[in-house]
Structures are given as C-alpha cells and as structure tokens.
Structure 1
Amino acid sequence: MLMDLFFDSVRTEKKIRQHFHRFMQSIHARLAELSGKTDPLSLVVSELERDYDLICFDEFYVEDIGDAMLLGRSLEKLLASKVKMVFTSNIKPSDLYMGGLQRKSFMSAISAIENHCEVVCLESVTDYRLRELEKSGIYFSPIDSEKINSFNELFLQLSKGTNSGPDAIDILDRKIAFEDSANDIIHFSADVIFNSPRSSSDYIELSREFHTIFISNLDVIEEEDTARRFIAFIDECYDRNVKVIFLSNPLPNEIYTGTRLADKFQRTLSRLTEMQSNDYLQGRHKG
C-alpha cells in the first residue's frame, strides 16, 4: 500500500513499477538480444536511463544464481545512474542471497545498495492483508451470490482500488488470461489455470511473482491431467507461501473424485488445510 501511494504521487510519466523477478527476466532477455555487442550490460543501463526517471521494485528477493551474478555486475551501474530506484523487500540488504552459490560475487550488489540507498525498516504490528484474509476466510464455497460478492469484495479490499481488470500475463512466452490483477495480486478462473495445458514451470513463475492468487469457479475434478495440474499448482504455491483464495463449488475434500491420484491428493488436501491457518497466512511470501 505504501508503494502504491508513493508511485502514484510521483509526477513523471517516465516511471515503472515491476515485480523484481519479472524485471530480471526482461534484463536477461535484453542481454540475449544484445549478445555480440561490446559491453551489452552498459547498453541496457543506458536504455533504462533513457526511458525512466523512476524504477520501483516489489519484493526484492534473490535466490537464482543467474540473477545473483548479473546483479553483482549491474546493480552498481544502475544505482550510480540518474535513475531513482525504490525497493520493497522482506529481507535486509546484508541478508540477501544468504547461503547462495558464489555469494562472494554478489557482495558488490549488496555494497551498492548500502552505499547508494537509504535503508528504512518499516515495522508494522498489523499486516492489513493478513487481517482481511483472517476476517473473510480464503475458501468460499458453495458458489452462490453471497459467496461471489464476498470473494470479489476481498479482492477489492486487498487491491485497494489499483486493480486493472481483465487482461493477459506473459509467462514463459505464453499468454495466460486473468480476470483481474493489482501489483502482486491476481485473479484467474479455474478453467484457465487447471483445464488448459500448463506445466509446473508456469506455476513456479506465478508463485514467484504473486503474493496472493484468487481462483474462481472451481468445480469437481475428475480428469487426471486436471488433477495433476491442481496438485502441482498447490505444491508450488505452498512452497513459496502464496496465499490462495478459492471460489469453489466443492469443499476441499470433494474437489477430486477420481481414484488414481487419491493418495497424492491427500497431501494436497493437507496443504490446503494448512494454507488456511494463521501461521501460514502470517508467513512471508518467498517470491
């Protein structure tokens, strides 16, 4: 919410706000396009300097060695440029990429942050998103007008009026249609996420990028491929502590009616139960 207010208040058209993971994907892609050029990284920084006065990053979190090595070389260039940069993170700079491979190569990025940025620790007793989730619940079933209204109202409360409406998101060079989105919150229909061809890689990217995922119009799952996608989706969201909100006709123990994956689905049910607990809801998103 604080980032929303800050970003909206800055009076320049040359500004961008992105989830950090998506920004790094775009940098890797641009470097690939510039391969063969002399010092492509400096070219990318020059392009950013030309296009933006302000870059805001949501959820600055580094776990990928490729990102870590690139940041070690590039962040000092970016921070020393005329572009102003603002980060939100659940991790203080000195603890970034802790325990990661070749972390020594990343230390220059940490030094650049500490030298060029003012680090502000924001302590809050209450997480407004947690408060709303605890109050409203995260599993709305069965689907009726009351549940639909509650589900939609929760999305509006969490998005604080910054929602975009229906569109599509680019995940691994494929478009995935969504019902609504707001920064690190997104709403998909169950049909798009589970009944269309999807891989675990899609779910990994979604769980890295979004703090909260709303899934609407979930029905009973009989088909095995659909059940496998559902299991994979829950596994990835659980591993990254994504908050998943369902608008569903079946209750959790009624979702899968097949037999072949019954044992696997028991673990999924256990995870769905845990994902509704206060301990899980209070956990940090591992984006």
Structure 2
Amino acid sequence: MLDSFEQAARAAGFALDDAQRAAAARLARLGAEVTGRRRFFAGPPPHGLYVWGPVGRGKSWLTEVFYEALPLPRKRRVHFHEFFREFHAVYARHRRERDACDLAVAELLGDCQLLFFDEFHVHDPGDAMMMGRVLGSLFDRGTTLVATSNYPPAGLLPNPVHHHMFEPTIRLLEASLDIVEVAGPRDYRTDRPSGGARSRFGTGRYLCPGTPRQLREAGLEPPSADERRQLDVGGRAVTARAVRDGLVWFDFHELCGARTSTIDFLALADRFDSWVLAGLPRLSSADRDSAQRFANLVDVLHDRDARLHLVAGAPLADALGGDSLPLDINRTLSRLRLLDRS
C-alpha cells in the first residue's frame, strides 16, 4: 500500500516529505493489520491512529489516499461535524432508553470495521461529554478508528475552565490510538503544487471591497431588496439576501450573528452548493460567538467542497488578524487562502 501514497503524490505534483512518509508507512501497516484480521477472523482489533499536526501538512490527504486504497468493504469516512449531526438525530429516537448512546452508535455504524473521523476537534463542553460516551461505544464494539486533527489529544477542549472534564476521554484516546504527528515544513494549502486539481471551494473569490463592478466581474449580480427570503432551518427562520437555484447569498451579521449552529450550516449546505457571504468584518471587531460560527461555516463549506464567495471590507490577513479569535483561526485562514483574490 505504501506505493499508493507515492503514486498519489506524484500525480498531484509533489513528493512526500519525511513526516508524510512516516505517517504513510504507519497507515500502510494499519491497512495490513485490518485486512489480515478480516481474512483470518482472529485476534483483537488493531490500534487505530490519531494523525495530528498544523494546517496544510497533508493529514486529510494521507488518510483519504489510505481510505481509497484500502480493500475493506466495511469502512466509513465522515467529517466530525457530519457524524455528530447524524448521531444527535439518531440518539433523539433512543434517548428514553438506558443504553441510548450504544444503540445510536450501533444504528449509525452497523458492522463498520474501520471508521475515519476527519477534522476531530472539541470546543463545546456538552459535545465533549457526549463524545466520551460515543468513543467508549466505538471501542467496545471493536471498531478501529482513524482520526485527523490540528491538536494532539491533550490539546482537545483547550478551555482551561472545562478541560479537566475531557481528561478521561483524552486518556481513552491515548490508550486506544497510536498518535502520529505530521508537521513537515511545507503548508501545501498555501503552496499548492502546480498542475494539481483545483477544488470547487477553491474556485470561489475573495472580493475586497466588493464593489458592484467586482461582483459582476465574478459573475455575481448584487441582490435586490425584493430577493430577500426566509429559509426554514431546523424550525427556525434564517434570512437570505437572495436564493438563485443552487446559490444562496447571506449577510455575515444575519447568518453568523444569529444563533446558528454547525448543524444548521450542514442543513443549508445540503440545499446549496454555491454561497456568497457579504459584509465580512475584521473578525477581531466581531463578537467571539459570531467569529466562531464563521470558522465553523468555512469548515463545513470546505469539507462539502461548496463554492464560497466572500465579500469583505479588508484584505484577508487583516480580516482574520488580531486578538480574541477562534482557536481554529489558522485552519480557517489556510482554507480561505485557496480562494481567488485576484
């Protein structure tokens, strides 16, 4: 399987660095362990992997290559946000039962042998407590887990007020998964190899200051007042400045300043594959909750590979610079650098 990583890197126009090569070797070993266990139906499940490191170092790319090359029918790859949306919906049906968490995990995963969590991060203490129960159910079922993250396990739920609540889950992760750091010197999102395939997300534009002329040059007609619409999201109304086929146009303060959740963003991403978000301020001047919602929105749209046009009042580095910003702001900035800023 190690050859699969080398071939995929060549096809993408780069060579594996030392950190990626070490992670690829460990992933290849896990692949041999998982397929060998399937073949002989013997022994405990192999240790999973927790692959972490700075943004843009190839963590998700490595696990995607591994997933595609792994000849295992009972596998599933899911973004962390997506899994939790599904889990909460299923858990609600079983919540009156004593083993509701176990039943929800069993319903979601069935006979899944290998589960991939991409972008594993925990900031909400409520989610953190439930995640501990979910992971316990996964490991009790003998499911092997592979996760990617920008944080080491000990760095999850970093808020010192709540961190101690997650320490038992951190110990569970460290006992159940081998920790692999991918921290090479190159940020592959910023320094994209020439000739590599461009994502749909990366075809979006960062428009500053977003004059009507700039918008029209990007193929965007500014919305009129009579295009405003109320969209139902989870039983609540969210205001859009325009809805045009698969495109939705929002104002930053109306979308991120409202009590929208990541689950709401996922539901909207189910309906629209092209987005315009206008009125992006300097995040240091926005309240912390709005800035965090914006970071969550970028996560969702990037992982759904939806096209995003951002209309901002300041250059990207200034808009996402300053103090009191979301903990994941470096990941957000790395992703937004994929947008065309010409």
TM-score (norm: length of structure 2)? 0.49
**What does residue 110 of structure 1 align with?**
170
Structure 1 distance, partners of 2:105, 2:134, is: 8
Paired residue for 2:92, among 14, 23, 32? 32
Q: Is the 1:94–1:110 contact (alpha carbons within 8 Å) kept by the matching residues of 2? A: yes
- Hey, what does 2:250 align to over in structure 1? 194
- Aligned ranges for residues 1-287 of structure 1 at < 5 Å? 1-48=61-108, 50-99=110-159, 101-132=161-192, 139=206, 172=234, 191-194=247-250, 199-200=255-256, 205=262, 230-231=278-279, 236=290, 240=295, 242=298, 268-270=312-314, 272=316, 274-275=318-319, 283-285=330-332
Between the two proteins, what is the percent identity of the paired residues? 27
Q: Which amino acid aligns with 1:205?
A: T
Where does structure 1 lack aligned partners over 5 or more consecutive residues?
149-169, 175-187, 210-214, 219-228, 253-267
Return 5+ residue gaps in structure 2 as ranges: 1-60, 194-201, 208-213, 220-231, 237-243, 267-272, 284-289, 336-342
SS at match of 2:314: helix
Per-residue CA deviation, residues 135-161 of structure 1 (Å, 9 max, x unaligned), is: x995475766xx78xxxxxxxxxxxxx
What displacement does 1:272 show? 4.4
Using the alignment, how far apart are the partners of 2:274 and 2:282 within structure 1?
15
- 2:250 aligned partner, one-letter code: F
- Closer/same/farther in 2, CA of residues 73 and 216 from structure 1, 3 Å limit: closer
Mean Cα deviation higher: 103-112 or 238-247: 238-247
Gap change, CA 1:2 and 1:25, over 3 Å in 2? same
Q: Which has the higher contact order (CA 8 A, sep 6+)?
A: 2
CA contact (8 A) 1:208 1:240 kept: no
Give the match's secondary structure for 2:116: strand
- Deviations along 1:27-81, whole A, 9 cap, x unmatched? 2222111021121112123334524122111111101111111122331231232
The change in CA–CA distance for 1:72 and 1:64 in structure 2 (over 3 A counts) is same
Change (3 A) 1:28 1:276: closer
Label 1:107 to 1:131 Cα distance change in 2 as closer, same or farther (>3 A): same
How many angstroms apart in 1 are the aligned matches of 2:158 and 2:320? 29
Counterpart contact for 1:65–1:101, Cα < 8 Å: no
Report if aligned partners of 2:280, 2:313 keep a CA contact under 8 Å in 1. Answer: no
Contact 1:203 1:232 in 2 (8 A): no
Aligned residues: 214
- Say what the alpha-carbon RMSD is for the aligned residues: 4.6
